[in-house]
Amino acid sequence: MMAIYLAMGIFSGVVVGGAFVGGSLLLTSLLLFVPGLLGQPPLSFLTISEIVGAQTVVAAGVGMWGHRDAIVGAVLRRLLLPAALLSAAGALLAPRLPRPVILLVLEAVIIVSLDRLARPRAPAPVGSAGAGSPTLAITGAAVGFLGGLYGIGGGFLLVPALLLAGLPVRAAVGTALGAGVIIALTGLAVKLPASHAAPLPLVLAAAVVAGSALGAAAGAWLARRVPPERMRQAVMGLLVLVALRVGQSL
C-alpha cells in the first residue's frame, strides 16, 4: 500500500508543481476513494485532512522559499489573522462533520476551482482593488476555513483575489503560498492533539509527502516545457472527473 500512497503524492505534486492549483483537492479526493477501490479500510476524514495538511505545508513551504523575494509582507500580514482564526475553526469542525456534508462541500469547492481555472484573472492595475480591501480579508477567512477543514492551501481562491488587488502574478503566487503554509500549520496544530482516537499513520503520511515533493519537482520541469494553457486544461479535466466521482457518492 505504501507504493500507492507514494504514487498519489507524486500525482498531486505534479499538479502543484505544474499548475500551482488543484493538487490538494485532487489528493483529498484520491485519499477519500482509492483505499476503498483497492479493498482497504477507508481513511477517516480527520486522517485525510491531516495528511493533506502535511503535504500542503511541505509543498507550499518549498514554493514559498522559491518565491520569497516576491512575497508582499503587508498583504500577507493582513491575511494571516482571519485566515489563521478560521483555519482553527475549520480544523475543530473537521472531525464532527458527517461524510455527506464533507463530500457536498468538497463538490462545491471543486466547482469554484473549475470556475477560477476556466476564467483566469489577469492582474489588475496596482492599487485598483487595494491590498487593504475587505474582500481580500474575507477571501483569506474563507480560504482559512477550507484549509483548516480539508488541509488544502486554497490557492485557487487566494491567487485570483490577490491579482484583483493589483499584485503581479509572481507576488500573488508567493504571498498565497506563504498564507497556505500558515493556514495548514494552524490546522495541523489544532487537529493533531485531537486525533488520539485515530492517530495519524506517519508512514503513509511520509510516503504522500515524499511523493508530493518528487512530483512537484517533475511538475515544475513540465511547466517549463508545456504551454500553460495545456497544463490548465489538463488540471480542469482531472477536476471534472473528480467532481463526477464525488457527485456519484452524494
pLDDT score for 120? 64
Those residues whose C-beta lies under 8 Å from the C-beta of residue 106, and which sit 6 or more positions away, are: 25, 28, 29, 32, 150, 246
Those residues whose C-beta lies under 8 Å from the C-beta of residue 156, and which sit 6 or more positions away, are: 21, 22, 25, 112, 113, 116, 117
Judged against a pLDDT cut of 50, whether residue 195 lies above it is answered with yes
Decide if 91 contacts 190 (C-beta within 8 A).
Answer: yes
Question: pLDDT tens for residues 74-96?
Answer: 889 888 889 999 999 999 998 88
Judged against a pLDDT cut of 80, whether residue 232 lies above it is answered with no
End-to-end CA distance of the chain: 27
Q: pLDDT band at residue 155, thresholds of 50, 70 and 90?
A: confident
pLDDT score for 239? 84
Q: pLDDT band at residue 129, thresholds of 50, 70 and 90?
A: very low
pLDDT score for 58? 83
Higher pLDDT, 16 or 190: 190
Judged against a pLDDT cut of 70, whether residue 24 lies above it is answered with yes
Higher pLDDT, 89 or 225: 89
Question: pLDDT tens for residues 36-75?
Answer: 888 888 888 888 888 999 888 887 887 788 778 888 888 8
Higher pLDDT, 214 or 86: 86
Higher pLDDT, 65 or 124: 65
Higher pLDDT, 125 or 179: 179
